[in-house]
Structure 1
Amino acid sequence: MNNVIYSINGPVVTVKNATDFAMLEMVYVGEKRLIGEVISITSKATTIQVYETTTGLKPGEPVYSTGSPLCATLGPGILSNIFDGIERPLKDINERSGAYIDEGCNIPSLDDERTWDVTIKVKEGDSVQGGQIYATCPETELIEHRCMILPTLNGKVTFAAENGRYKINDVIVKIEDEHGKMHELTLCQKWPIRTARPTKERLPISQPLITGQRVIDTMFPIAKGGTAAVPGGFGTGKTMTQHQLAKWCDADIIVYVGCGERGNEMTQVLKEFSELIDPKSGKKLTARTVLIANTSNMPVAAREASIYTGITLAEYYRDMGYHVAIMADSTSRWAEALREISGRLEEMPAEEGFPAYLPSRISQFYERAGYMVTLCDKDGSVSIIGAVSPQGADFSEPVTQNTKRFVRCFWALDKSLAYARHYPAINWNTSYSEYIDDLAKWYGTNVDKSFLSKRQQIASLLHEENELMEIVKLIGSDVLPDDQKLVIEIAKIIRVGFLQQNAFHKDDTFVPLQKQLKMMEVILYLYEKSKVIVQAGKSLTEVLETGVFANLVKMKYEVPNEHLEQFDRYFKMIDEAFNHLD
């Protein structure tokens, strides 16, 4: 054997004088056949990053070439499953080797013994092209799996099996390409995780990803096919915010990537998701969810791969015509893996020790989002929501700053809000969304033409309150005239009664857009009425003593989501209370 290990430096292995390896080729390292990937080639040495622990590996052990890049296995059985960073099924590994993954644990990603009820969509003699659907099967109660011809393959069908039950590796269709070469199609295919799957056309952003979280849907919306960053320090609620989005957003499929997170957090995710009922269908939420768990004690190189594995699975379901949301928690841990491997390779460090190519890697990930026309002429989208964990909540650090360059939605989590038990702890003064203009037509058509104008009024009141509070901090509130004190009081209702949301309350955990609009209407109606009263000479104290302000804070709990007509009593309550002041 010519190719043997020369040196080992953590997950980085070097082979001397190798000539038969290709860049980004997957290889098997050592007697235990650990999975690795070629990341550097020179005339003298080939460098490999190993996706498993290298404990016990010795120089002189062989390295085996595979001739193909690191690929994800794509087929029925992905949904409801839990994988590690390189798509190995953790349930099967647990049954075989217990709580910890054995080195060289080579288990198929998908169950090759399970049978699926397959409907064949092509017949003998058909001309077919890349991306076309050739078979379907019910993957879960909620999702139909659509098997697609590889994008690079065109030709004529020479064999099509009958409808029936098949395993994922059974040949169900044979195609002869234009060169006369025969291709056998099964229920699954392989795809390189670092290569974006091709599409027919990228469509302009036009639809929001509805989350049911007021501070997001109303103030800082994300679009289907959009990108968002959720930066925040320790304990600010990044993971909980992503849990809420995973539970309630109106994507068809959720891909949740736990990248370098604490093991107990991933345990919580697994436990919660297995118990949750999908609000749209009444079925289990796991029927449309796939989890990739790469906890902080797992090999660091696999953390780097987990992000790409997750986005490849998301693109696969997008190509079937589904809307997919991928939650990456957290991209900072992924960047730390890049930094560690870069250090072991002795590359020249850039800012804070991160590699110089950090911005390009972040952009490559976020650019794989989008709203697309797929090769099978269906509309599908991938929306990426990435958590960022800046050390010490310092948003000026490289990962946050570079992420900000490539996303159009920024939900900045605030430590002081989290400590005050204000959740979601999204700071309305430092967050932003660039999708509002793109979504204006949709909001006007599907909710109400006044929705965005009312949103703008709410945002203006919060901005004005922020400026007034600077004065209050310096010289106190007594110097402010009543009309400015009124702005502070209304902003308090907006903050506590509208932006703050209770994830454990049945009517407040998810709020439809029509209810969000009604809540804004009531708050702004109160503001306009109060302003008239104050301008007429009445004191703000008299206005506050009516008790209306305190009652409005509770309307989010008191009005059920399906009985929006009950908001009428709040308008009447405001009118009656203020009629006594005239």
Structure 2
Amino acid sequence: MSDRDKQGVIHEVNGPILRIRIPGICNGEQVKIGKLGLYGEVIALKGETAVVQCYESTEGVCPGEPVVSLGKPLSVELGPGLLGSIFDGVQRPLDKVLLASGDHIGRGIQLPALDRDRHWHFTPEPEIQASARLSPGQLIGRVQESAIIQHRILVPPHWAGELLELAPEGDYRLDDPIGRLKLDDGRTRKLMLYQHWPVRTPRPYLRRDHGLMPLVTGQRILDTFFPLLKGGKGAIPGPFGAGKTVLQQQIARWADADIVIYVGCGERGNELVDVLKTFPQLQDPYSGHKLMERTLLVANTSNMPVVAREASIYVGITMAEYYRDQGYDVVMLADSTSRWAEALREVSGRLDQMPVEEGYPAYLASRLAAFYERAGRVETRGCGKGSVTLIGAVSPPGGDFSEPVTAHTKEIIQTFWALSKELADARHYPAIDWVGSFSEHVSTAAQWWHKQISPDWERRRQQALGLLARDAELSRIVNLVGPEALSSAQRWELVGASLIKEGVLQQSALDPVDTFASPEKQFLLLDMVLMIYDRGVELIELGISVQELTDLPLMAKARRAKQTFSSEQTGQIRALMEEFKHAFSQIRLEYAKFKEHAQ
């Protein structure tokens, strides 16, 4: 059926939801709406009546205006030029939108996501010649997309057949064919530097693999206490002001991933403006180049159309899967899935669907699960192993973790970094609650830590968490009856927990030294404070007072070591540990002499 046959009219307008009559249209197809040429997609069908959600405001759109089917679902362009770009929720490049309509995004603007005028230097794979049999997802050439990322040109996932010709090495624009492929059904298709893919369909791969390596973020409470594997699913729930956005920005900057995709979904405009201004100025700590050379941003603020907010999550994950298929480790940060769920709630309400928990639709849990299941480490069809790590921020109203979005997310993900308003109010950042957080990856991460850093990692981690748990119990006793009710050993436990909190868990994103800690530095800081605690326990058992130990000048050095020594100065941390051992030995000797003299 031609596009001429797939024309219809608007029957009803209800906010972003329209009912149209159009023959032969399919569920999921995109349509062009009214005289303004707004874009939307079909989300339900009843006979020849279709329900359409529009990505833009429908003010001024009237019943009777024409609608034209575009014959394809909501899709994204995938090719060289994605990195360093900033898109809106339906992959319109915001820099081009600014030139076309000014500071406010005009309605009906449709621009290609990728620059059609730029030339890219294409290098074909030497072993691929004409008449070769090509399989879906096979690597056929390379383009240097940025100084640090080589873009691998792949056969589209559903194409297979005989290669008729492949372009020689040279400079090509995106619309210049680089080859021709005769498909198995006899049709001939042009091979391009880019491809399209529907955002709601996961991209195929050979097989799913188990995660093996932790995602190193440089944030001690994440890496050491609640690790997340590459290809894992994580969530950062927390109330307003607890530091979700700063923590996500820290992960985006310091994570040892090849590609970072940051999706600002329904968050406040001033927060996203800060991201958009800050990221292009940041330097990639691993390569020394601009951070944006391995980063792309999707910006859809809370004042933008609600349906585009819902689409932005799928746009981001599809681009993440595309780079995964090239064999890269990708981290996608979604800020926040709560705003995405609110978009689902608004649309379902306009569709008169039966609401369930707090007005959310009945399919909220399944939509969340389907989104997070697109994470994972996989064996790709042509580029070895790749992974997508998903980290979603959740914004529960009033910090109530029992609300539906947080509760369902907690059942799906593997690592839960719960932010605490009480810690944030106490200026303890990152304000991650070590009691409410968890990780299912500890045993797998332990294998990496034992091999790369120290076989004592898991034991020290468990010891620290146990000490923090006892600190919570003892703090309640102190609040009720005062510190006098505690024994010397119990008071020393409070000191040890304080050392862990101040010397290890607290980490300033603004401190040039402390903003990042290598795994080696993380373990040495933890090992040092626990060594201090262990030696102190021995001395207290001999009868030495807690006050004498806490008055040691070295104790302040232990608390400041994280800011004093960089990740390259681990030798100085070891030297400080030796100073502590010597100081404790001296105390033991002096006490022994004192006891001998007293006798």
Q: Give the TM-score taking structure 1 as reference length.
A: 0.98
Shift in Å, 1:44: 5.7
- 1:355 alignment partner, SS class: coil
Q: Distance in 2 between matches of 1:159 and 1:551?
A: 67
Taking the aligned partners of 2:520 and 2:436, their CA distance within structure 1 comes to 26
Q: CA deviation at 1:538?
A: 1.5
Matched, 1:72 2:73: no
Question: What is the letter of the counterpart of residue 335 of structure 1?
Answer: A
Whether 1:373 aligns to 2:379 is yes
Tell me if structure 1 keeps the 8 A contact 2:24–2:48. Answer: no
**Partner residue in 1 for 2:595:** none
Instruction: Find the counterpart in structure 2 of residue 7 from structure 1.
Output: 12
CA distance in 1, matches of 2:321, 2:26: 25
The residue aligned with 1:479 is 485
SS in 2 for 1:91: helix
Separation in structure 1 between the aligned mates of residue 575 and residue 155 of structure 2, nearest angstrom: 58
* Aligned residue runs from structure 1 range 152-191, under 5 A: 152-191=158-197
Q: What residue in structure 1 maps to residue 496 of structure 2?
A: 490
How far, CA to CA, are the matches of 1:152 and 1:547 in structure 2? Answer: 67
| Distance in 2 separating the partners of 1:162 and 1:56 | 51
Counting only pairs closer than 5 Å after superposition, residues 415-426 of structure 1 correspond to structure 2 as 415-426=421-432
- Partner residue in 2 for 1:384: 390
Task: State the distance in 2 between where 1:277 and 1:519 align.
Answer: 26
Q: Tell me, yes or no, if structure 1 residue 37 matches structure 2 residue 41.
A: yes
Contact in 1 for aligned 2:18/2:52 (Cα 8 Å): yes
Identify the residue that residue 520 of structure 1 maps to in structure 2: 526
Unaligned runs of 5+ in 2: 592-599
TM-score, scaled to structure 2:
0.95
| Matched letter for residue 136 of structure 2 | G
Contact conserved, 1:136 with 1:144, CA < 8 A, in 2? yes
| Mapping 1:255-294, distance limit 5 Å | 255-294=261-300
Q: Does 1:210 align with 2:216?
A: yes
Which amino acid is the alignment partner of residue 165 of structure 2? Answer: F
- What is the distance in 1 between the residues matched to 2:166 and 2:535? 71
What residue is the counterpart of 1:357 in the other structure?
A: 363
1:85-136 superposed Cα distances (whole Å, 9 cap, x missing partner): 0000000000111011111101111111111011122321111100001121
Contact 2:10–2:66, Cα closer than 8 Å, also in 1:
yes
User: Could you report, residue by residue, the CA deviation over 1:433-477 in whole angstroms, capped at 9, with x for unpaired residues?
Assistant: 111012221111111111111111111111111121122222222
**Is 1:196 the counterpart of 2:202 in the alignment?**
yes
How many residues are aligned here? 581
Whether the 8 Å CA contact 2:325–2:383 is kept in 1: the answer is: no
Aligned-partner residue type, residue 164 of structure 1: G
Partner of 1:448: 454
Q: Deviations over 1:219-275 (max 9, x none)?
A: 001100001100010110000000000000001000000001111111110111111
Instruction: Determine helix, strand or coil for the equivalent of 1:462.
Output: helix
For the pair 1:232 / 2:225, whether they are aligned, the reply is: no
Matches within 5 A, 1:126-145: 126-145=132-151
SS at match of 1:3: strand
Which of 415, 421, 440 is the matching residue for 1:409? 415
Q: Which residue does 2:350 correspond to in 1?
A: 344
**Partners of 2:552 and 2:178 in 1: CA distance:** 73
1:407-446 Cα shifts (integer Å, max 9, x gaps): 0100000111111111111011111111101222111111
Q: Which secondary structure does the structure 2 equivalent of 1:491 belong to? A: helix
Residue 297 of structure 1 and its aligned partner are, at CA, apart by 1.1
Partners of 1:500 and 1:4 lie apart in 2 by 60
- 1:377 deviates by 4.2
Identity across matched positions, percent: 45
SS in 2 for 1:168: coil
* TM superposition shift of 1:171: 0.8
Unaligned runs of 5+ in 1: none
Cα pair 1:37 1:48 within 8 Å, conserved: yes
Answering whether residue 470 of structure 2 is matched by residue 464 of structure 1, we say: yes
**Mapped partners of 1:146, 1:570: distance in 2:** 48
Q: 1:500 aligns with which of 502, 506, 518?
A: 506
Amino acid at match of 1:63: V
Distance 1:557 1:377 in 2: 41
Q: Does 1:313 align with 2:325?
A: no
Q: Which amino acid in the other structure matches residue 467 of structure 2? A: L
- Matching of residue 82 in structure 1 with residue 109 in structure 2: no
Q: Distance in 2 between matches of 1:131 and 1:186?
A: 13
**Aligned partners of 1:205 and 1:439 also within 8 Å:** no
Q: Say yes or no: does 1:220 pair with 2:211.
A: no
**Is the Cα–Cα contact under 8 Å of residues 130 and 149 in structure 1 kept in the other structure?**
yes
Q: Structure 2 CA distance, aligned partners of 1:389 and 1:443?
A: 32
